[in-house]
Amino acid sequence: MTASSGGAVKAQPWNDLSARPYVEIERITKSFGDFKAVDDVSLKVYKGEIFCLLGASGCGKTTLLRMLGGFETPTSGRVLIDGEDMSGVPPYERPVNMMFQSYALFPHMSVEQNVAFGLKQDRLPKHEIQERVATMLDLVKMSDYAKRKPHQLSGGQRQRVALARSLVKRPKLLLLDEPLGALDKKLREHTQFELISLQDKLGVTFIVVTHDQEEAMTLASRIGVMNHGEIVQAGTPSEIYEFPSSRFVADFVGSVNMFEGKLIEDEPDYVRIRSPEIDAPIYVSHGISAPPGAVVWAALRPEKIFMSVAAPEGGADNVVRGTVQDIAYLGDLSIYLVKLPTGKVVRVTQPNTSRHAEAIGWDQQVYLSWDASSPVVVTR
């Protein structure tokens, strides 16, 4: 997986202390009975961002989105949009629009009527409505289908109508609930890039809810990973992937080999970790902050492990031997499950650069090695 930093924001306002956030979520909590769907979440989103809330189903991401749209009332905390407190403002008065997971296209109205619906509620003059609907349909390439009813459209077309309908009111903020969830894989990839270019063109701030990490990686300027109603880490896609702050994030975004162990050497510029799951200590070329003797985890991405039949050159650090237990050929790359003498199975991916049969086969003895900068050490 490649971590691109998609999105329109090339500058990084979240690193600029003087930048004014556009959407501010202040210590928001939503309880249903005893269950806290969203638990004390604070978040700042900046103008022009595509912010993705990523998490498994039931993690509270949709509830958070619905509170921004005004469909749920927070139990405590508040939301500010462009400096204005949204508490008590009903959905029909918020400068926010939402694209629903089911698209929620009105089945008894044509494409045109669906898109015009929001403008009609604002009692805009007829010619202006017509003009804006036409422009918007043109933008999503649906002009030819203006007179059709939703049931006469394909999934991808419906998605574009839903997008047009939510954008035509020029909202300050667009909320998208699993915008591509109902599309098949090929169409989804294509639509992701369309969505980014459209957002770039219109300059609208997006907050997207998704459970699909690839989608989040492609779309987002920043990702907020949610678990049990909390945002466990927020950052750019590459930060989330390369510097996960916890085992949960490392494991949830991409796949990872996790080694549990203790620090045996703790210096400002390097550490050494002893793990019962691996014969040799893991050498990491950056310091970490953890109390001495604490349990830590070294997380190692499968693509950052080199696999070779011959012993790799260089020092003895970060080299282990193992036996290939299983191989999965995926076309662009192959996944190898390698069993270490300790019994631990390590996942390694190798790009299939050559068209010819692989040199490494089942039950083969191999050496695994990795760069000292590759492991990420997390303490929780």
Residues forming the site for other proteins (CB under 8 A): 69-71, 90-94, 96-98, 100-102, 104-108, 117-118, 121-122, 149-152, 155, 165-166, 169
List helix spans (H) across the chain: 61-69, 111-121, 126-139, 155-167, 185-202, 213-219, 237-242, 247-252
Q: Which is nearer to other proteins, 165 or 347 (CB)?
A: 165
Q: Which is nearer to other proteins, 68 or 240 (CB)?
A: 68
To other proteins, the closest distance from the beta carbon of 343 in angstroms equals 38
Spatial separation of the C-alpha atoms in residues 286 and 358, rounded to whole Å: 35
Residues 173, 22 contacting (CB under 8 angstroms): yes
Q: Which is nearer to other proteins, 76 or 121 (CB)?
A: 121
- Which residues, in sequence order, are CB contacts of 161 under 8 Å at separation 6+? 103, 105, 111, 114, 115, 140, 142, 145, 150, 153
To other proteins, the closest distance from the beta carbon of 170 in angstroms equals 12
To other proteins, the closest distance from the beta carbon of 122 in angstroms equals 6
Q: Listing from the earlier edge strand, what are the strands of the sheet with 305-308?
A: 305-308, 365-370, 319-329, 333-339, 345-351
To other proteins, the closest distance from the beta carbon of 150 in angstroms equals 4
To other proteins, the closest distance from the beta carbon of 35 in angstroms equals 15
Q: Which of 333, 268, 328, 273 is nearest to 297 (CA)?
A: 273
Q: Which of 192, 194, 378 is nearest to 295 (CA)?
A: 378
Spatial separation of the C-alpha atoms in residues 72 and 81, rounded to whole Å: 16
How far is CA 1 from each of CA 110, 217, 238, 351, rounded to the nearest angstrom?
A: 40, 9, 11, 11
The C-alpha angle with vertex 128 and arms to 204 and 99, in degrees rounded to 5, equals 35
Spatial separation of the C-alpha atoms in residues 185 and 182, rounded to whole Å: 9
Kindly tell me the sign of the dihedral angle through the C-alpha atoms of 181, 182, 188, 191.
negative
Q: Which of 283, 370, 286 is nearest to 322 (CA)?
A: 370
Pairing, β 230-235 against β 271-274: unpaired
Q: Which is nearer to other proteins, 173 or 217 (CB)?
A: 173
To other proteins, the closest distance from the beta carbon of 113 in angstroms equals 11
Q: Which is nearer to other proteins, 91 or 315 (CB)?
A: 91
To other proteins, the closest distance from the beta carbon of 87 in angstroms equals 17
Q: Which is nearer to other proteins, 160 or 165 (CB)?
A: 165
Q: Which is nearer to other proteins, 93 or 265 (CB)?
A: 93
To other proteins, the closest distance from the beta carbon of 12 in angstroms equals 31
Kindly tell me the sign of the dihedral angle through the C-alpha atoms of 11, 13, 18, 23.
positive
Q: Reduced to 3 states, what is the DSSP secondary structure of residue 310?
A: coil
Q: Which is nearer to other proteins, 155 or 276 (CB)?
A: 155
Spatial separation of the C-alpha atoms in residues 119 and 164, rounded to whole Å: 12
Q: Listing from the earlier edge strand, what are the strands of the sheet with 96-99?
A: 96-99, 173-177, 205-210, 50-54, 222-227, 230-235
To other proteins, the closest distance from the beta carbon of 289 in angstroms equals 45
The C-alpha angle with vertex 358 and arms to 311 and 354, in degrees rounded to 5, equals 100
To other proteins, the closest distance from the beta carbon of 140 in angstroms equals 16
Q: Which is nearer to other proteins, 107 or 361 (CB)?
A: 107
Q: Which is nearer to other proteins, 139 or 327 (CB)?
A: 139
